[in-house]
Amino acid sequence: MFVDRVSRAGRFLEWKVRIFTVAAALVLAGMYLEARWMTWTALLLLIGAMSLRFLPGGAASRLEHDEDPDADESVHDPGF
């Protein structure tokens, strides 16, 4: 029911936002100046930003390390 936005953000969120901002500025300038190369460059930047999600070390590896951080504490807890 509730969405955990932290796990969906990913470690490249800041880079994705930066690349999107540059691509948006390029596509607007390309449309204004009628320069197709700017529009295509913006498209390539957006594809590059999308490909960041496939780099190793994303959410899958983070889930492996965060499975159950309290599992070891229950063994040493006397139960008082």
Which residue is associated with the tokens 């990913």? 10
Residue 26 lies in a domain: yes
Residue 65 lies in a domain: no
Residue 58 lies in a domain: no
Residue 32, domain extent: 11-52
Residue 2 lies in a domain: no
Residue 32 lies in a domain: yes
Q: Rounded distance, CA 39 to CA 48, Å? A: 14
pLDDT band of residue 8 (cuts 50, 70, 90) is: low
pTM beyond 0.85: no
DSSP annotation of 62 reads: H
> Percent of the chain beyond pLDDT 90?
38
Task: Please provide the average confidence, as pLDDT, over all residues in the chain.
Answer: 76
Residue 72 lies in a domain: no
DSSP annotation of 52 reads: G
Q: Give per-residue pLDDT as tens, 44-67.
A: 999 988 888 888 765 555 555 555
Output the pLDDT for position 68: 53
Number of domains in the chain: 1
